[in-house]
Amino acid sequence: MAWWNGTVPDQFADTFAASRRAMDDMPMDDTDYGTVSWDVDRVRAAAEAIEKRGDLLRTVVAVDESDGSIAGFTELVVPEGGKGDGQHYGTGVLPEHRGHGLGRWMKAESIRQAREHHPDLDGLLTDTADSNLYMRSINDALGYTPTHTTFEYQLDL
C-alpha cells in the first residue's frame, strides 16, 4: 500500500498513469464514455486542477510487491478547509488483480485516512452506476446509502 496527497510522486507516476486503464471496463449502464487515454501529464494536470480550486486530492494505491507497479487506486477529493463533503472520484483495480478484495480495502483505507486527517468533514459521497454491482456491493458494505438518482442521456450525432 501507498498513499499521497496532491500530485502523484515521481516514483509512482508511470505506473499510476498506466493503472488508470482499470476504469476502462467500468459498467456504466447504457452510457458510452469511450476509452480515456491517461498519461503522466494528464494525471498531473488533473491533480493540479483540483489543487488550483483549493481542494485536496488524496490517493490510496495497492502496490504489486512482485514488481512495484500499481494494481489499483482510489481517489478522494477533500474540499478546501476540510469541511463539507468529501467526494470519491474513482476506484479501480486492474483486471489481472481483481478478485482479491483490493477495491474494498483501498476504499476503506481512504475512509479511515479521511476520518483521521479531516475530522471536520460532514460526510463522504460516492457515485456508482446501478449496473456496477461490484462497486455497489463495496459501497453498501462500507455504509454508503443512496441519496439521489442521476439520469444521463446520450445523443449519437
- Give the range of the structural domain holding residue 33, as residue numbers without chain letter: 2-141
The pLDDT tens digits of the residues spanning 90-122 come to 999 999 999 999 999 999 999 999 999 999 999
End-to-end CA gap in the chain: 44
- 24 pLDDT above the threshold of 70: no
The pLDDT tens digits of the residues spanning 115-152 come to 999 999 999 999 888 888 899 999 999 999 988 888 77
Cβ burial, residue 30 (10 Å; 0-12/13-18/19+): exposed
Residues 109/1, Cβ–Cβ less than 8 Å: yes
Q: Cα 118 from chain centroid?
A: 18
Q: How does the average pLDDT of the chain come out, rounded? A: 91
Count of domains observed in the chain = 1
Strand partners, 84: 121
Question: What CATH number is given to the structural domain containing 129?
Answer: 3.40.630.30
Distance of alpha carbon 147 from alpha carbon 87, whole angstroms: 14
Does residue 155 belong to any structural domain of this protein? no
Residue 60 neighbours by CB distance under 10 Å? 23
Global pTM value: 0.90
